[in-house]
Structure 1
Amino acid sequence: MVNGDVETVDELPAAGRTFSQRVAERGERLEELEARLEVLAQHTDASTKAEKITAILMFAQNKANERGKVAVTPAEIRGCTGVSRRYAYDLVEAVAAGVDGVQVRESKQVRTGNGSEHKQKTLLIDCEGVRELNDAVDSYTTSNGGDGEV
């Protein structure tokens, strides 16, 4: 069998069949990951304000895992939307004003055991309060005529 041609998987020894099955499983997993990557790429290339807000809320939901509330910094907003530093701060205000379950934590100095620490302005997103992500984004975009502008 080593020197002959193999026509079907059934002609392979058990190890060959196991290897073939693993290759097929990895191929399916690769397809799933490529599909997820495509969705993420669409969010990072967000062009309208509503798409940027959707990307921020999706980022928060992914970051939250099992926690109910998550903080999203302007730097993280820049990373998930591709906007400038200044516009990231504008989006902090826009998301807090336009989506229920989101508030702004203003920047402040906090005393620690070793001195003080600067906490930057951050979005606090209650992922359970924003339960239905699509509903939150839809209500944001449709309340303004669907154009996504505040």
Structure 2
Amino acid sequence: MSSSSIPRTTDEAKELLRSLLDRLQDAETRLTITEQRLDSFFNWREETDDRIGDLKRENDELRQRLTALEARVNVVEGGKSTKDGKIRQIVAKAENLRKKDQGAVVLTARDIVGATGVSRRYAYDLIDDLPEKHHWVITRTEARDRQFGNVEIDANKQTKAIVVDCEALHSDPEAVNKFTTTREGEDQ
């Protein structure tokens, strides 16, 4: 008997009813399985949302701890990890290399790496940036045009370098306070 035909006998009607009950039973089973899967999915989703919230809170806590630790390291290092701290170290290196009759000191990337502990690449970045930001740090080319006693300033040298004009540095009160004055607990 086809499903589109109308049963003509009681047996055909019983057979159609059994077939419909079997199909209904299969649909109920599939619906139950789908409900269980949906429940599992929503439970997983809720647990995942809770875990994401926990991870966000943990991340915030770790960031706060990192910030506090960085602040403590900065205090211990006397600010040497900041850019101003690096400049202070460069100025200290220039002061240490300066001879009595020199108005300026040439510092190469190697000198800057040695004084600050930065990478060579960062030392070159400082060589490029500092003359633009501080009037008492100049390029070799600029220094060649000035008189600095017996300082050898060869603008044609291939080695990148800066020239710290110590006289200009010491004539700038703000720079003296910021870059030459030792802070409490700081070694220069």
Normalised to the residue count of structure 2, the TM-score between the two structures is: 0.41
- Structure 2: gaps of 5 or more residues: 1-75, 142-155, 180-188
Distance in 1, matches of 2:172 and 2:95, equals 8
Q: Once superposed, which parts of structure 1, at least 4 consecutive aligned residues long, lie more than 6 Å away?
A: none
Distance in 2, matches of 1:49 and 1:131, equals 20
Instruction: Choose the corresponding residue for 1:100, options 110, 135, 138.
Output: 135
Secondary structure at 1:94 match in 2 = helix
Distance in 1, matches of 2:117 and 2:129, equals 16
Distance in 1, matches of 2:115 and 2:97, equals 12
Give the CA deviation at 1:70: 0.9
Contact 1:53 1:137 in 2 (8 A): no
1:57 counterpart = 2:96 = no
Contact 2:109 2:160 in 1 (8 A): yes
Instruction: Choose the corresponding residue for 1:72, options 81, 92, 107.
Output: 107
Give the CA deviation at 1:100: 1.7
The structure with the larger Rg is 2
Identical pairs, percent: 36
Corresponding pairs, count = 89
Instruction: Choose the corresponding residue for 1:125, options 158, 164, 167.
Output: 164
Distance 1:118 1:104, change over 3 A: closer
- AA matched with 1:102: V
- State the superposition RMSD in angstroms: 2.9
Contact 1:100 1:136 in 2 (8 A): no
Secondary structure at 2:81 match in 1 = coil
